[in-house]
Amino acid sequence: MTRAAGLGVRGLTVRFGDTVAVDAVDLDLAPGEILALLGASGSGKSSLLRGIAGLEPLAAGSVTWAGEEVRGIPVHERGFGVMFQDGQLFPHRDVGGNVAYGVHRLPRADRDRRVRELLDLVGLAGYEKRAITSLSGGQAQRVALARSLAPHPRLLLLDEPLSALDRALREHLVGVLRSTLKATETTAIYVTHDQDEAFAVADRVAVLIDGRIARIGTPSDVWRSPASPAVATFLGYATLLTPDQARDLGWPLDRPLDGQVVAVGPDGLVPTGDARGVAVPVLEQIDRRGYVAIRVTLPHGAAAWLKAPGRIEEPTLRVTLDPAHCAVVATDA
């Protein structure tokens, strides 16, 4: 039998009493790959991550690395690293002491070099002697990342590592995180409920709904074909249209919809700016950075948002669908 490289998860099930938190999940991860586990609160992301780490007992299933079962192996001997939302740094050690924690057996010079390399990678060169209490939240998470990577974990499991930080900092640090994981060729699973973060960090995204992987693929594949109305809605396709409703809004006749719905993305409904399209009442207008968000009522009665370059003076606006920013989704997926 050939041994699969990387992580193999089969039928992984985690239960809490009668609650099935993770429901028979199968998952493969190639060495060096970053997978984002994306899902709403309570969808089972942390339970799956903790199940893989060995921090949560499995009701069923197996976890292998390079084809070897790790289920019976104690957490700290699996060669897996874990990083949480609160990086859990040791306040009595300085930054260098924290990063060196998992590599204390290395000779001094090697250890110092490893600490220096990692602090450099996370953008904190020269911070070795800084006290943990003097760090900002973002700096602390970068130190936590460097500490998790120091012992060369074969798999790094990150549970919402940036969720305590504000949005601007998260957007910056997600880039630091991805480049650091890639530079160290680390295989990683990254749990988040934030769609933008998942898409920015990962090679592949798995969308979890009710403890199951509802869709897995590259960020662009998952976005272009979300596979089910539930996944589309979770990803941010705000409106789902039946074939008749879509055709009323200008869906092209040469794109038949057979038992499918049209999921309208954030740019899927557009003002025509001329006599084409359907006139819809304007309900509300909100100024955003670079555009105005306009809420309208669609012909079948549902409300939807669209973007316009400026405020609309008239009570109605002519709109049409832009198929390039819509996804066609099977209803029974």
Residues lying near ligand ATP in the complex (CB under 6 A) are found at 16, 19, 21, 39, 41-47, 193
Closer CB to ligand ATP, residue 21 or residue 83? 21
CA distances from 318 to 161, 243, 253, 292, 324 (A): 44, 20, 19, 15, 19
Shortest distance in whole angstroms from residue 206 CB to ligand ATP: 12
Nearest CA among 138, 147, 137, 205 for reference residue 174: 138
Angle between helix 108-121 and 167-183 (nearest 10): 130
Which of 84, 251 has the CB closer to ligand ATP? 84
CB of 199 to ligand ATP, least distance (A): 17
61: left (phi over 0), alpha (psi -120 to 50) or beta: left
Nearer to ligand ATP, 211 or 229 (CB): 211
Least Cβ distance, residue 191 to ligand ATP (angstroms): 6
How far is Cα of residue 194 from the mean position of the Cα atoms in its chain? 6
Smallest separation, CB 124 to ligand ATP (Å): 28
The answer to whether 61 and 10 are in contact (CB under 8 A) is yes
Alpha helix positions (H), the chain: 45-53, 95-99, 108-121, 137-149, 167-183, 195-201, 219-224, 229-235, 243-248
DSSP SS3 for 263: strand
Least distance (Å) from ligand ATP to the CB of residue 38?
A: 9
Q: Minimum distance between the CB of residue 106 and ligand ATP, rounded to whole angstroms? A: 34
* Cβ-based nearer residue to ligand ATP, 122 or 235: 235
Nearer to ligand ATP, 16 or 90 (CB): 16
Question: Which lies closer to ligand ATP via its Cβ, residue 31 or residue 42?
Answer: 42
CB of 87 to ligand ATP, least distance (A): 17
Q: Where on the phi/psi map is residue 130: left (φ > 0), alpha (ψ -120 to 50), or beta?
A: beta
Shortest CA distance to 46 belongs to which of 16, 5, 90, 3? 16
Among residues 37 and 249, whose Cβ is nearest to ligand ATP?
Answer: 37
SS3 251: coil
